[in-house]
Amino acid sequence: MGTFPPTPRTTVRRLPQRGVYDKAQVYAILDEGFICHVGFAIDGQPYVIPTGYARSGDEIFLHGSAASRMLHTLGDGLDVCVTVTLVDGFVLSRSAFHHSINYRSVVMMGRARVLEDPAEKTAAMRCFTNHILPGRWDEVRSPSDQELRATMVLALPLREVSAKVRQGPPVEDERDLDRAAWAGVVPLHGRLGEPVPMDDLVPGVPPIDRSRFTRF
């Protein structure tokens, strides 16, 4: 699958040993996540907005209301930085200084394009729906023409991309090893709770099977 060539903007400088440019690893992080933080600047003022995303091949899709200022601004070709972060655990050391967090993050830089073709938009929306819950698209009503028009979809090509990963136990100083405090890693996972059905479901509809949410 290859690697992303690091650029001045995507080279990991702090703790470069945490930098990951391998496409397969980067895409595995993107496919596990589903929320990104979209950054852009207007007259020097930065904005960071959370939103959903889904990957298809070498691009990610963003979407939202056709009335969204952010999507229009980005669709006009403004530079964007999109970041996805997965938190894997708390790293507890015997010193305050060496406490840390295990995480995997991906930073994507570039310019997005607006999807105009209804078939291309529909394919992207299918990708979104099934990214959260595989197979969901085929169970639900597809978007009407009006819904398609009300939805703006952007595609960001994955060209300038890097990941940063911290895993494993804390770093400990020799001098702290005789301190009688617990140290190690406490993993953190996402977990689905009890589904809350609408009270007007068609009689006989089976409960949602949580195991279909494959990332949890």
Binding to a copy of itself (CB under 8 A): which residues in 155-174?
Answer: 169-170, 172
Rounded to 5 degrees, φ, ψ at 49 are -125, 130
Contact range with a copy of itself by CB under 8 A, out of 17-25, 53-61, 112-120, 185-193 = 185-193
Beta carbons of 45 and 71 less than 8 angstroms apart? no
Would you give the binding string for a copy of itself spanning residues 65-104, x where CB under 8 A is met?
A: x-xxxx--------xxxxx-x-x-xx-xxxxxx-x-x-x-
Beta carbons of 26 and 20 less than 8 angstroms apart? yes
- Exactly one of 2, 180, 211, 214 binds a copy of itself (CB under 8 A); that residue is 180
Q: Quick check: 191 binds a copy of itself (CB under 8 A)? A: yes
- Exactly one of 18, 23, 111, 126 binds a copy of itself (CB under 8 A); that residue is 126
DSSP, collapsed to helix, strand or coil, labels residue 121 as helix
Q: Quick check: 208 binds a copy of itself (CB under 8 A)? A: yes
Rounded to 5 degrees, φ, ψ at 177 are -70, -20
Per CB under 8 A, contacts with a copy of itself among 39-58 are: 39-41, 44-50, 52
Least spacing, CB of residue 5 vs a copy of itself, in Å: 18
Contact range with a copy of itself by CB under 8 A, out of 19-27, 54-62, 112-120, 194-202 = 194-202
Q: Quick check: 1 binds a copy of itself (CB under 8 A)? A: no
Q: Tell me how far apart the alpha carbons of residues 9 and 19 are, in angstroms, rounded to a whole number.
A: 13
- Exactly one of 1, 2, 13, 145 binds a copy of itself (CB under 8 A); that residue is 13
* Tokens 């999807």 sit on residue: 115
Q: Tell me how far apart the alpha carbons of residues 19 and 106 are, in angstroms, rounded to a whole number.
A: 10
Question: Shortest CA distance to 143 belongs to which of 129, 155, 157?
Answer: 129
Q: Tell me how far apart the alpha carbons of residues 98 and 173 are, in angstroms, rounded to a whole number.
A: 9
